[in-house]
Amino acid sequence: MDLLLRNVRMVNVFSRNVSPVHIAVCDGAVAGFGDYEARETVDLKDRYVAPGFIDAHVHIESAMVGVSEFVRAVVPSGTTTVVADPHEIANVLGVPAIEYMIRSAADQPMNVRYALPSCVPATQMENAGAVLSAADLEPFLSHDSIVALAEVMNYPGVIFEEPDLLRKIQNTKHARKSIDGHAPGLIGKQLYAYLSAGIASDHECTTADEALKKLKAGMHIMIREGTCARNLDALFPIITEKTAHRVMWCTDDRHPHDLIDEGHVDAIVRRAVTMGLDPVLAIQIATLNPARYFRMDDVGALAPGYRADMIVFSDLHDLRVERVYTNGRLVAEGGAMLPRVKKPAPVAIPKSMNVKSMSPDFSIPARGRRIRVIDLVPDQVVTGQMITEAKLSDGRAVSDIRRDILKLAVVERHKATGNVGLGFVRGFGLRGGALASSVAHDSHNIIIMGANDDDMGVACRAVVEMGGGFAVASGGQVTATLPLPIAGLMSEEPVTIVRKQMDRIIHAAKALGTPLSDPFMALGFIALPVIPELKITDLGLVDVALFKPVALFTD
């Protein structure tokens, strides 16, 4: 044997109990229980050992770091397997993005699995960097790291039998891999039609009633606790002895601040236990349940033949991970990766910044007196819309700081089309300057918002010159940046450095007057034309309820 962990209180997720054992490990897997001769013996002195946690649905890009740094951010908190959807980077770079993410996962001290992005692009009302057809995705289905087709957001396409989308689903079914859903609010006959295609899970439920209806219709429910959306409080009542086996935890999107301050899947387990959930059941939901759903037969439990992915902790009711083993090797202790755990060599990735002009024209000739304005809803991805009088100057519509109506622009950055969508937004509170970002869901063009055209141009150029990222400009100068050179979405730096950079850039934005806790998050979702009500893309304003472009001027 390679390793013997003695005097362990093992959490058994099959029998849902805790029992005293010794755990033997050989060649990276659990070999058995009891006394064995081993090269290394560790006395854990009655501490608990459980399987490593699994995040059932996560976008690594949302952590704003590459795969290696994401692994180093979450493994010390006990996550040893993730099912990641590279939807964001795939919208920028397509097939090379998936290849990049798979290569980046090799030789990591974590089991990184992927779900193939199902909806690239997410909509035809903007220009993304790529289109992924069923033929593009099919070769990946035989890869060991691919375990699912990711969140099928285009539920109308399923219901109305869009041919290429149905081919993606059928190809995944033939490969005997799971098909994840994304159907907020969908119930009744439309839900049944959606499920009939073979879709099996959902992470978008926001009420217990919705989740129960989907459970009764046969779905697995992923309860999400991320940065942008937190659903545990609302969905906690659905977890019962009868339903718990079809529930999983996921983070979806968790930003650097939350990864550092709260943790990862461990934070969800702790919170569920404080709400009254049996701790062993909370661990089962974090381990065995997603492993079974994704047909990952070698993880999710501690039993002979399973990967020796293990977490060590002292308090079952306040789970704080002290040690993490992956493949039977100690890789993290005391909340940090061990220095001997080396990072794999970085993987090359194509450049992603291809704009037609470094100085786009943000002027808006007056074509009427009244304009549509995106109305920000604080701490939400939905927006409202209002129609109001435009502020006009020299025959042009301009920002109106007094009424908190600021100019918006989306610059296409993938194919050098020269497209610039223009509009206005209320709710950011800037008294001057501009913000720019290459993180603009889902197509990730450059989005700029500001009080004047000159600072908007300065901020936009800074983003282009960095190869992507966030920028703040004021008085014709760049005052803060956060470079994201990996597809304009991710940094090459550790998550701790990115967090400090994020603190600085938010501080610079707040100095311009915004009261928002994270104005860049809010800015990025204003470009998401599948979430109500009024959004903006490189093609202009989009009324999501009407599902069509609309004019800026109303008269």
Report pLDDT for 344: 95
Report pLDDT for 363: 97
Peptide bond into 99 cis (omega under 30): no
Please list the ranges in the chain whose pLDDT falls under 50: none
Fold of 52-297: TIM Barrel (3.20.20)
Q: What is the pLDDT of residues 270-285, one digit of tens each?
A: 999 999 999 999 999 9
Please give the Cα distance from 442 to 537 (Å, whole number).
10
Q: Exposed, middle or buried, 114 (CB in 10 Å: 0-12/13-18/19+)?
A: buried
Domain locations along the chain: 52-297, 370-550
Please choose, from the candidates 238, 232, 248, 231, the residue with its C-alpha nearest in 3D space to the C-alpha of residue 214.
Answer: 238
Distances in Å between the alpha carbon of 273 and those of 242, 267, 535?
A: 18, 10, 39
Report pLDDT for 61: 97
Report pLDDT for 300: 98
User: Other C-beta atoms within 10 Å of 1: how many?
Assistant: 16
Report pLDDT for 123: 82
Q: What is the pLDDT of residues 6-20, one digit of tens each?
A: 999 999 999 999 999
For residue 454, the surrounding DSSP H or E stretch is helix 453-466
- pTM equals 0.95
